[in-house]
Amino acid sequence: MRPLGLIILSGLLAVLVVSCDPDTTEPQPPARLVGEWKMVSSTGLITYLSQDSAEASRFIDTRMIEPSNYRLSFHENPQEVTSLGATTLERSYRNGGERDTLINAGNINGLVSWELAGSTLTLTDEQGYRQASTVVTLNDSELAISYDVIDSFYMPYYLTRSQATQIYQRR
């Protein structure tokens, strides 16, 4: 009976070891972010709130349209980020219904460092201004970032808010 018990125990352990998958919900290491990413999609909302009765508050929906060749490059040692190219955005104004197209260089100027802690990606410029974004997806081929930035006193508006989700593919 002893050898039979050892055979059953060994078989059970083998099944348990083989059936264990690594936990896929763990945060991805920052090294996965390193490399060049091309923007393939961007959608968002820009809000301008005004207290001035002569200047109405504005709500603008944005979405990326072609041609766009905007790219981000995340470097390692030191952890810096650079950009290249431009994004073409279609803007739809909610109050008024008009539309226009904006070609936005959106380039990162100067020295900008990056830090990835869990799902929070923080970019910091030379003056110490920090912008945090949420990494929604990060795998070998796709990076999706969502951000919500609030600025105050962008005259004549007392508050501006930019919300967007951007999707990149690894190049």
Does residue 14 lie in a domain region?
no
Domain that includes residue 70, residue range: 27-170
Give the residue ranges of DSSP H helices in the chain.
2-19
Does residue 13 lie in a domain region?
no
For 149-170, give the secondary structure using H, E and C: EEEEEECCEEEEEEEEEEEEEE
Does residue 16 lie in a domain region?
no
Does residue 3 lie in a domain region?
no
Does residue 43 lie in a domain region?
yes
**Tokens describing residue 14:** 């083998």
Does residue 51 lie in a domain region?
yes
Counting the structural domains of the chain, the total is: 1
pTM of the model: 0.74
**Tokens describing residue 6:** 């050892």
Task: Please list the pLDDT of the chain residue by residue as tens digits (171 residues).
Answer: 444 343 333 343 333 333 344 444 444 556 799 999 999 999 999 888 877 766 677 888 999 988 788 999 999 999 999 988 888 889 898 877 788 888 776 667 678 999 999 999 999 988 888 999 999 999 999 999 999 988 765 556 667 889 999 999 999
158 vs 41, 116, 131, 155, 161, CA distance in Å? 29, 31, 20, 7, 10
The enclosing domain of 151 has a CATH number of 2.40.128
Q: Judge whether 138 and 117 are in contact, CB under 8 Å.
A: no
Does residue 22 lie in a domain region?
no
Does residue 1 lie in a domain region?
no
